Amino acid sequence: MTMTDGKKVWAKGISFGMDAGTVNVPYPLLAHYRELHLSDTEAMFLIQLMTFRQVEHNEFPSIEQLEERMDSAPGALSPVIRRLLKEGWISIDEITDESTGIQSERYNLSGMYSRLGQYLAEVEITARQNEAAREMETVQQEERERNLFVIFEKEFGRPLSPMECETISVWMDQDKYPEELIRLALKEAVFAGKVHFRYINRILFEWSRNRIKTADDAKAYTQRFRSGMR
């Protein structure tokens, strides 16, 4: 077979596949079935139900047809169907043909669409809540920084320079020093008569090196230091 013949065969195969039909599968099912606590088999079962309905116009394929399509052992799909029915992913409707009076059954997938919609709504709500929490944390952080700036300016007796404001922000945002420790370090600097940022930074570094995490720890450490009991 020449290269040209091979391309023709390939193109013919693609054309046949496209002509056989396509299936609309909800993206959330494909992307999030694990988070929805569906197994691979359960997700594929739902996809096969959609395939039978959309392409083959068969709304109630037999278990044997589904087992053959999914290459499942006899009886393997029965627990899958029972669980999906119990969990509300699918239901089975009984319908009557008005012209013939013949009764039949069909799989109803409205439960699946409802579950997917509920999941997407919960994801959106959670995302908005997380965003609101982040915004609130930012506001609170800014408020804490403003409060510290005011306290420092009061002790220094003057407005802080941009560099000094940046230093306080670094202590909180990068070094992760608790606000109470920064306040206490300022207090210690005032007590020592060394009200400048380099001395305060040295206090904070010393406390961090000695794993001082709270104001109570710092007070105890300072007391030992003043008593000569390191």
Mean pLDDT, residues 27-50: 96
- CATH 3.40.50.970 is right for the domain spanning 133-226: no
pLDDT number for residue 8: 59
In Å, how far are 44, 47, 58, 185 from 73, measured between CA atoms? 15, 18, 22, 72
- Residues spanned by CATH 1.10.10.630 within the chain? 133-226
Q: What is the pTM of this model?
A: 0.56
pLDDT value, residue 166: 92
Query: In the structure, what pLDDT confidence band is assigned to residue 21 with cuts at 50, 70 and 90?
Result: confident
Q: What mean pLDDT is reported for the chain?
A: 87
pLDDT reading at 49 higher than 90: yes
User: Two tokens at 56?
Assistant: 């083959």
Q: Is 60 exceeded by the pLDDT of residue 230?
A: no
Residue, of 13 and 48, whose pLDDT is higher: 48
Mean pLDDT is lowest, of 56-60, 129-133, 140-144, 169-173, for 140-144
Amino acid at 31: A
Q: Tell me how long the chain is.
A: 230
Scan for tokens 């694990």, then name that residue.
34
pLDDT at residue 36, as a whole number: 95
State the CATH class of domain 12-108: mainly alpha
Q: Is 186 exposed, middle or buried (0-12, 13-18, 19+ CB in 10 A)?
A: buried
